[in-house]
Chain A
Amino acid sequence: DGGITQSPKYLFRKEGQNVTLSCEQNLNHDAMYWYRQDPGQGLRLIYYSQIVNDFQKGDIAEGYSVSREKKESFPLTVTSAQKNPTAFYLCASRGTSLNYEQFFGPGTRLTVL
């Protein structure tokens, strides 16, 4: 089955530790995106990548880093520099169809203790 996977579903870390969230897709999509969602709020764009080995900052990139070494994978690292890392993180991908629809993974809920 084609889709996007994120693991783990729930993640706990101590303050000051870096943590990497995984995102894998087998939809053969070129573009991938990372969003953060806080309670009662919409999705805010962290980073996005339109092609392998290239990525751009979104609206709230500070304290985060990404890599795009393979088309299928777009991991997100939440660094200790991120002031409020506890949130629901969603990864999405998009093909080249004209309607720009993004497909979302199931999300990772990160809690920093």
Chain B
Amino acid sequence: GQNIDQPTEMTATEGAIVQINCTYQTSGFNGLFWYQQHAGEAPTFLSYNVLDGLEEKGRFSSFLSRSKGYSYLLLKELQMKDSASYLCAVGNQGGKLIFGQGTELSVKP
């Protein structure tokens, strides 16, 4: 079966660092994607990992361990505009994406 787990909600303080974890069990694997989605809007692409290790892109970093079926998204120097839902997705056959339920991040002043 296909299963992707991430925490439902997280809260963090402006200026801090937050780590959003994602674990997965899927029948196929063509990479791990992270998307950001503000309420009522379309998801926007943040990062992609297909090899083990850390990918850094500005304030956002993403890590992958394929042997552990584990990824995390690291957000540094949090800003109020980072309040959003963060979606973990596994790439599968045919370019399909299997999504987790999303983690709702609230950034407090």
Using CB atoms and an 8 Å cutoff, list the residues of chain A in contact with chain B. 31, 33, 35, 40-45, 48, 50, 56, 58, 88, 90, 94, 99-107, 109
Q: Which of B50, B97, B100, B102 contacts A102 (CB 8 A)?
A: B97
Q: B72 → chain A, closest Cβ, in Å? A: 17
Main secondary structure of the interface of A (DSSP, over half): strand
Is B79 an interface residue, CB under 8 A from the partner?
no
By a CB distance below 8 angstroms, the chain B residues around A58 are 96
- B101, A41: Cβ atoms closer than 8 Å: yes
| A103 B99 Cβ-Cβ under 8 A | no
B95 touches A100 (CB 8 A): yes
Q: Which of A40, A48, A50, A104 touches B42 (beta carbons < 8 Å)?
A: A104
Question: 21 pairs across A/B with beta carbons < 8 Å?
Answer: A31-B95, A35-B99, A40-B101, A41-B102, A42-B100, A42-B101, A42-B102, A43-B87, A43-B89, A43-B99, A45-B97, A45-B98, A50-B95, A90-B42, A100-B31, A101-B48, A102-B45, A102-B95, A104-B43, A107-B40, A109-B40
Contacts of B13 in A (CB 8 A): none
Q: Which 7 A-B pairs give the minimum distances between C-beta atoms?
A: A42-B99, A104-B42, A43-B99, A42-B101, A100-B91, A99-B48, A94-B95
**A100 partner residues in chain B, CB cutoff 8 A:** 30-31, 33, 48, 91, 95, 97
State the CA gap A106–B43 with chains docked (Å).
9
Q: Is the CB of B94 closer than 8 A to any CB of chain A?
A: yes
Known A50-B94, A99-B31; contact A106-B48, beta-carbon cutoff 8 A: no
Task: Provide the residues of chain A in CB contact with B50, threshold 8 Å.
Answer: 99
Report chain B residues within 8 Å CB of A109: 40
A56 to chain B, nearest CB (A): 7
